[in-house]
Structure 1
Amino acid sequence: MTGYALSTRNTAAGQLVVELRSVNARFLDLVVRAPDELRSAEPALRELIG
């Protein structure tokens, strides 16, 4: 099964865009593309999603 979702939010810090795509796969392969300033949030994001 495949899926796609896109959400955009405007905040005081700027615009946040979250895009989720899934394809037929047996395992989770999470790819995070974010500016260096947000890299510290990646472990928490992985834990939340995974």
Structure 2
Amino acid sequence: MTAFARADRPLEGYGLVWEIKAVNHRYLEISPRLPDALRSLENAVRERCRKALARGKVEV
């Protein structure tokens, strides 16, 4: 199974775009791709995904 979601929103003069792509996978594998300025949020993104998902190969 494959899933894709995209949301965008203006935020204080910037555009914020969030995309999630997932394919069926035996284990949970999360690959966040954040700009360098937001790299410090990578662990928080992984934790949120772990709470919501049980398995799959996920690109955020």
> TM-score, with normalisation over the residues of structure 1?
0.83
Identity, % of aligned pairs? 42
Q: Distance in 2 between matches of 1:26 and 1:13?
A: 41
Q: Return 5+ residue gaps in structure 2 as ranges.
A: 51-60
How many angstroms does 1:13 deviate by? 5.1
Higher relative contact order (CA 8 A, sep 6+): 2
State the partner residue of 1:19. 19
What amino acid is the match of 2:20?
L
* Equivalent position of 1:42 in the other structure: 42
Report the Cα offset of residue 9 of structure 1: 1.1
1:44 corresponds to which letter in structure 2? Answer: A
Structure with the larger strand share: 2
Superposed CA RMSD in Å reads: 1.2
TM-score scaled by length of structure 2: 0.72
Change (3 A) 1:38 1:12: same
Runs of 4+ in structure 1 over 6 Å off: none
Q: Distance in 2 between matches of 1:27 and 1:45?
A: 17
